[in-house]
């Protein structure tokens, strides 16, 4: 059995306002950016960086992340919206990048970036992430729910992964078409050829295109990846806020469902990232803590 310390459990962000509102951070830490990360890293060995989805980070900021965390800590950095294909406010890009060609939507947001723009944002993110060094696990490419599996979209995902190389990419598909027979195998093969990780998902068990089924794929020998979004079917579509959408506290019975799959993932990959994204209040923090306890008990602590 793989040692338990090869399975890193954490949350999607350490800066989420919900964590502060819920009182997870002590009073002497909650208003201190440096203190929050150090406190988080005392409790978890890994985190996803969510802020990079909205804005490219400064080199000094990333260096500070590296400096404030222990040697064994791991960051998974979420790809910017322009890279993944979400609508994005051009004003949030650095000036040289916002002037590159793109197709705008009715609100003036970047809807379809040119290849030139997308590649420039990829290059900027790869450069910005450099100070993390060995603490960087992967760039998380979370596709929009409207991106269905087709040869064209699969080719573009492959091209993005190749551009991000030599950094590793973990890809979260969010349209159930990627899990259909034939499409799943084609996507897994494409990722495997590029040493990229398929992001397994726990989401509401509902029959909608935006809810991926709970399948397990390991396409990269270095990294397997699981993201748990909660199972609130009522708020999955049309919710007003992120906290509303992910308003779900996992029960022990629900967490139990993932113990053996995660242990199996650790037998096939050198490292496993288990990320709780049920960021309503302190639900993600509590779920991550409890899952780590259950893993330790199941695996005998080592």
Q: Both tokens of residue 132? A: 């993390």
Distance CA 136, CA 229 (A): 22
- pLDDT, position 300: 78
pLDDT in tens, 188-239: 999 999 999 999 999 999 889 888 999 999 999 999 999 999 998 887 877 7
Per-block average pLDDT, block size 10, for the chain (302 residues)?
A: 81 94 94 95 97 96 98 97 96 94 96 97 98 98 97 98 98 97 98 98 91 96 96 80 78 97 96 95 96 93 52
pLDDT in tens, 158-172: 999 999 999 999 999
Half-sphere exposure of 239 (CA within 13 A, CB side): 14
CATH of the domain at 238: 3.20.20.410
Is the pTM above the cut of 0.85? yes
> Reduced to 3 states, what is the DSSP secondary structure of residue 28?
coil
- pLDDT, position 239: 72
Using CA atoms of 199, 205, 210, 214 in order, give the dihedral in degrees to the nearest 10: 20
Strand-pair partners of 224: 272
Are the CB atoms for 220 and 256 separated by under 8 Å?
A: no
Residue 256, domain extent: 4-299
Domain count across the chain: 1
User: Where is 35: in which H helix or E strand?
Assistant: helix 33-43
């Amino acid at each position: 059995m793989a040692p338990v310390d090869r399975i890193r459990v954490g949350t999607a962000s350490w800066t989420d306002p919900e964590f502060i509102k819920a009182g997870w951070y002590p009073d002497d830490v909650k208003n201190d950016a440096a203190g929050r990360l150090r406190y988080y890293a005392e409790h978890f060995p890994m985190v996803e960086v969510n802020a990079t989805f909205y804005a490219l980070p400064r080199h000094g900021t990333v260096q500070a992340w590296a400096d404030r965390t222990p040697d064994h800590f791991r960051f998974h950095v979420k790809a910017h919206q322009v890279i993944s294909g979400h609508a994005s406010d051009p004003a949030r890009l650095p000036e040289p990048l916002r002037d590159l060609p793109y197709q705008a939507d009715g609100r003036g947001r970047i809807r379809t970036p040119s290849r030139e723009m997308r590649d420039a944002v990829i290059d900027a993110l790869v450069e910005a992430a450099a100070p993390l060094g060995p603490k960087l696990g992967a760039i998380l490419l979370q596709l929009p729910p409207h991106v269905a599996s087709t040869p064209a979209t699969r080719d573009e995902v492959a091209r993005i992964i190749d551009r991000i190389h030599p950094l590793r990419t973990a890809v979260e598909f969010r349209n159930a078409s990627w899990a259909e027979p034939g499409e799943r195998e084609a996507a897994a093969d494409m990722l495997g050829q590029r040493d990229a990780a398929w992001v397994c998902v726990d989401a509401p068990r509902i029959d909608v295109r935006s809810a991926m089924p709970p399948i397990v794929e390991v396409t990269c020998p270095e990294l397997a990846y699981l993201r748990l979004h909660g199972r609130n079917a009522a708020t999955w579509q049309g919710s007003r806020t992120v906290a509303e959408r992910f308003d779900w506290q996992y029960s022990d019975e629900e967490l139990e469902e993932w113990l053996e799959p995660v242990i199996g993932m650790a037998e096939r990959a050198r490292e496993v990232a288990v990320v709780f994204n049920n960021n309503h209040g302190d639900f993600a923090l509590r779920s991550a803590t409890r899952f780590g306890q259950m893993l330790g008990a199941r695996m005998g602590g080592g």
